[in-house]
Amino acid sequence: MASIIFKNAIINATQEEGQGNMWFNLPEITRQQIKEGLQAQLGSQNELQIKNAGLCLAVLAHIELPLNMWQEFLPSMVQNSENPNYWHRFAAVQTLGFLAEFMEGCPLRQSDTEQMLFSTINNIQAQHRSEE
């Protein structure tokens, strides 16, 4: 529940005129701790916990990636999308999917877009092969 409140607060604060960007008003160390805490939640085996953390991470990546910040986020998600552990793969692919939804119409480097697509397609193909 707290993650949904956090996600909605960040989204609303970044969309309201004159509010500035609430995320960047936080100290850098606090922003880093929040991101690390959310990434740790992706290691859970609870789908709801993974979903909520993934949504929050996608919102934060949506804010930071177009500003060329948090450059380790996408490589980390791509690497985890190839992890032999099902839950790590699931969390990474789901988070990348949420990010793709948030990034619609926003600038993103072509290489970043290609990484996101490759990871998603690669996992779809792997799942399809395992179902045959």
pLDDT above 90 for 72: yes
pLDDT at residue 51 in the model:
94
Number of neighbouring beta carbons within 10 Å of residue 7: 20
CB 92 within 8 A of CB 80: yes
User: What is the pLDDT at residue 14?
Assistant: 67
pTM: 0.82
Q: Taking residues 15-36, what's their average pLDDT?
A: 81
pLDDT of 115: 76
The DSSP code sequence of 21-66 is: -HHHHS-HHHHHHHHHHHHHHTT-S-HHHHHHHHHHHHHHHHHHGG
Q: What is the DSSP letter of 19?
A: S
Rounded to an integer, what distance in angstroms lies between the CA atom of residue 43 and that of residue 36?
11
pLDDT in tens, 81-129: 888 898 999 999 999 989 988 877 676 677 777 777 777 777 665 554 4
